[in-house]
Amino acid sequence: MESKDGSKKIILVVDDEPSILKLLNFILSSEYTLIIKTSGIEAIAWLEEGNDPDLIISDLMMPYFDGSTLIKNLKISGFYRNTPVILLSGADDLEEKVKEMSFKIDRFMEKPFNPTILKSHITELLA
């Protein structure tokens, strides 16, 4: 999918699992520019450099600075309030955890996820 200027849309992917990062790279890199970060701290540093992704895909459970803290800080900042977010997690009670969050998650998916459904969510959110 392309931006108005013809470049690929940018997706920030934040996950600490190498196998998930490889899978996301494999299924999405032909259509999108992927920025891969392995922690919330790395993601914040990249964003603070002035980068502005079209969409964020984040794991919920990561060491030091988890996905919930990352997204909460981004939504509170105001700069990324309207940036769509897809949350991935292997947590058994993911739906309950999302309901308890004080900020909006556009989509959430349990790991392992169906790549076709993920791509469909991305297309809908970037339309």
- The token pair at 90 is 């292997």
Residue 21: predicted pLDDT: 96
CA-based end-to-end distance of the chain: 9
User: Does residue 4 lie within any of the structural domains?
Assistant: no
Compute CA distances 60 → 27, 65, 114, whole Å.
Answer: 20, 10, 17
The beta strands (E) that lie in 1-127 are given as 10-14, 33-37, 55-59, 85-89, 107-110
112 cis-preceded (ω within 30 degrees of 0): yes
User: Does residue 53 lie within any of the structural domains?
Assistant: yes
Each of the 127 residues of the chain gets a pLDDT tens digit; together they read: 676 677 899 999 999 999 999 999 999 999 999 999 999 999 999 999 999 999 999 999 888 788 888 998 888 888 898 999 999 988 777 777 777 777 878 999 999 999 999 999 999 999 9
User: Does residue 74 lie within any of the structural domains?
Assistant: yes
Q: What is the CATH number of the domain that holds 65?
A: 3.40.50.2300
User: Does residue 62 lie within any of the structural domains?
Assistant: yes
**How many domains is the chain built from?**
1
- The token pair at 85 is 């977010």
| CA 11 – CA 107 distance, rounded (Å) | 14
User: Does residue 71 lie within any of the structural domains?
Assistant: yes
User: Does residue 117 lie within any of the structural domains?
Assistant: yes
| CB within 8 Å of 30: residues ≥ 6 apart | none
Can you give the residue range of the structural domain that contains 34? 10-126
- The token pair at 32 is 């999108």
User: Does residue 47 lie within any of the structural domains?
Assistant: yes
User: Does residue 59 lie within any of the structural domains?
Assistant: yes
